[in-house]
Structure 1
Amino acid sequence: MVESSQGLRSQYDDEISLVDLATTFLKRRRVFYAVFLLVTLAGVAYALLTPAKYEYVTLVKLAEKSGGKYIEEPATVIAELDSLWVPDLQATYRAQHDRNLPFRITASNPENTGLVRIVSEANPAGEELIEKTHRQLIERLITDQEQALTRLRKSLERQIESLDTTIDMLEGGQETGDAIASAVEKQLSLETDLESLAPAEALVVSRSNGENTGPSRSLIVVLAAMLGLMGGVFLAFFAEFIGLVREKASEQ
């Protein structure tokens, strides 16, 4: 019975009670305060010194043809932007400045529209460079669209001229009324298609919505405080552990 009581007491002696933990924490509270304040102040300084980031958006409406269709599909234009035009701009900037563009350029197509949406994120200091870069992309995109539009316009004009010749030839023949009517109908359809052609245009160029897209400053401060709290508690107990090890080492 005595041996059992001694073994139980030995077991309890090896355990760490909440009172021991609280005593250790109070003993090393200065370590906790120092770490907590240092990390929190570092978070506040980072939140205040980090410049805000804004999203800059450019919208380009693609060239249209009849029936609400587009000269080139938006997906095709975006593929050219991503795989050809943007890499060319990045390579040119790298060659001129010996560094990469300080922001990314992404392109997308809002659903069920003929718009190409070009987006970049940067702090206000990069606004001028973003506008310049977006304008270069707009110029290239609109030039490409104008070339495609010119090709289609010439094709339609040739078809209309051909039908004019065909109608003139049919008018001199007999029993050609149905053929003439069909040719005139086709010619009118082509003329409608020609008149419905609309060029590409830039609707918005590098416009900021005014909302900070970077991490919230209040969130940074809260996370820094939480990190300081956890780090302070850990280092307080770690300091006590180091102190105990030194005491044991000095006793030996």
Structure 2
Amino acid sequence: MVDLARALIRRRWVIIGTFLVFTLGAAFYAFSQERVYAFTTSIELGEFGPQEYVASASGTQNTIEERILLSVKRAYLKEQDLERMPFDVSVATSEESSFVNLVTQAPLDQQATVAAFHERIYKRLRDEHQSRLTILENESDAKLKNLRASLKAEKRRMEALEGMAVTPNQKAGNGETRTQTQAGEEVRATLTSSDAALTLLLSQLQLNERISEREQRMNEIQRQLREEKTRRSWIKPTRAEDLAIASLSPVGTSRSLILVLGALLGGMLGVFMAFFAEFAARVREVETG
């Protein structure tokens, strides 16, 4: 251990020199790098009814990555006469989420350019989703029209049944009056009147049952009509309120971490270089001796 310590002391300038070279190199690299920020655009998926989205978040992510992003990149490179993109765009989302995030890492002075590029992607996605919403709106309008027509038809049938229920009662009253006036004439007339009353009673029960069924049917149609109106009024298009919002602090490897790593690497290599220089010196001594 004493010999090692003596060797390190003799070669201290090698250690110090190597340490300073790597530390200063790391500092130069750290401060020469342009600071990069993360720019995020959150796109909220369009809705058609409570918790009914025009597309799933994962499906939207695949659509952007596999089709929209490539198309927008080609158009951008052609317009700007560039061979490669100055920045990249990643798409992030989470399961069961209604948001899809566009994320780009770039210098702060490119925020306007990144925002314009994100806006292109967002508009393409919004147009596609709007066409789907239009189809859903048309389907909903047709469904509402059919439900209103069914409700109107059921009301007409209900009115007809209620009219049939009143008429037999009136006839039953007139028949009973005639029967009372002829009560003393024939027993056969009394039997005939009893059969007619029984028939009217059965018919009335059937009518009441049919009226109850119609009421249930009307209530069901009215329920469906309310639900569809609520769903129809819930339409929200795909939207993005803020474009390319910059992160509060730079992203990537921090300057302090680069400096620390450079100093550690310089110290370890300095010790290695000191031992190597000492070993080379011993070898020369042996050869010359």
TM over 0.5: yes
Does 1:146 find its partner at 2:146?
no
- Report what 1:88 is aligned to: 71
Cα distance, 1:20 vs. partner?
1.5
Cα distance, 1:163 vs. partner?
2.7
Q: Distance in 2 between matches of 1:85 and 1:31?
A: 57
Letter in 1 for 2:132: A
Q: Distance in 1 between matches of 2:89 and 2:19?
A: 36
- Relative to the length of structure 1, the TM-score reads 0.82
Indicate conservation of the 8 Å contact 1:36/1:225, yes or no: yes
Indicate conservation of the 8 Å contact 1:93/1:101, yes or no: no
Indicate conservation of the 8 Å contact 2:87/2:104, yes or no: no
Q: Distance in 2 between matches of 1:121 and 1:77?
A: 21
From 156, 161, 165, the counterpart of 2:149:
165
Does 1:103 find its partner at 2:103?
no
- Report what 1:12 is aligned to: none
Cα distance, 1:88 vs. partner?
2.9
SS class of match (2:38) = strand
SS class of match (1:33) = helix
Indicate conservation of the 8 Å contact 1:81/1:107, yes or no: no
177-186 or 35-44: bigger deviation: 177-186
113-122 or 230-239: bigger deviation: 113-122
- Report what 1:49 is aligned to: 32
SS class of match (1:38) = helix
- Report what 2:116 is aligned to: 132
Q: Distance in 2 between matches of 1:24 and 1:180?
A: 101
Q: Distance in 2 between matches of 1:19 and 1:115?
A: 65
Q: Distance in 1 between matches of 2:31 and 2:122?
A: 35
Q: Distance in 1 between matches of 2:288 and 2:71?
A: 68
Cα distance, 1:30 vs. partner?
1.7
Bigger radius of gyration: 2
Cα distance, 1:100 vs. partner?
3.7
Change (3 A) 1:36 1:70: same
Q: Distance in 2 between matches of 1:242 and 1:93?
A: 59
SS class of match (1:214) = coil
Cα distance, 1:238 vs. partner?
1.0
Q: Distance in 2 between matches of 1:129 and 1:168?
A: 57
Does 1:122 find its partner at 2:160?
no
35-44 or 204-213: bigger deviation: 204-213
Does 1:59 find its partner at 2:42?
yes
- Report what 2:2 is aligned to: 19
78-87 or 135-144: bigger deviation: 78-87
- Report what 2:229 is aligned to: 191
Q: Deviations over 1:197-248 (max 9, x none)?
A: 1112113211012211121211111111111101111111112222333344
Letter in 2 for 1:117: N
Q: Deviations over 1:120-150 (max 9, x none)?
A: 2222243233212211111112112211111
Considering only aligned residues, what root-mean-square deviation do their CA atoms show, in Å?
2.3
Q: Distance in 2 between matches of 1:25 and 1:146?
A: 73
Indicate conservation of the 8 Å contact 1:86/1:105, yes or no: no
Does 1:69 find its partner at 2:52?
yes
Q: State, as a whole percentage, how many aligned pairs show the same letter.
A: 25
Cα distance, 1:154 vs. partner?
0.5
- Relative to the length of structure 2, the TM-score reads 0.72
Letter in 2 for 1:19: V
Q: Equivalent residues in 2 for 1:31-50 (5 A)?
A: 31-50=14-33
Change (3 A) 1:23 1:182: closer
Indicate conservation of the 8 Å contact 1:93/1:99, yes or no: no
Unaligned runs of 5+ in 2: 162-210
Change (3 A) 1:158 1:123: same
Cα distance, 1:156 vs. partner?
0.4
SS class of match (1:203) = coil
Q: Distance in 2 between matches of 1:71 and 1:106?
A: 18
Cα distance, 1:86 vs. partner?
2.2
Indicate conservation of the 8 Å contact 2:89/2:102, yes or no: no
Which structure features the higher share of strand residues?
Answer: 1
Number of aligned positions between the proteins: 233
Indicate conservation of the 8 Å contact 1:82/1:106, yes or no: yes
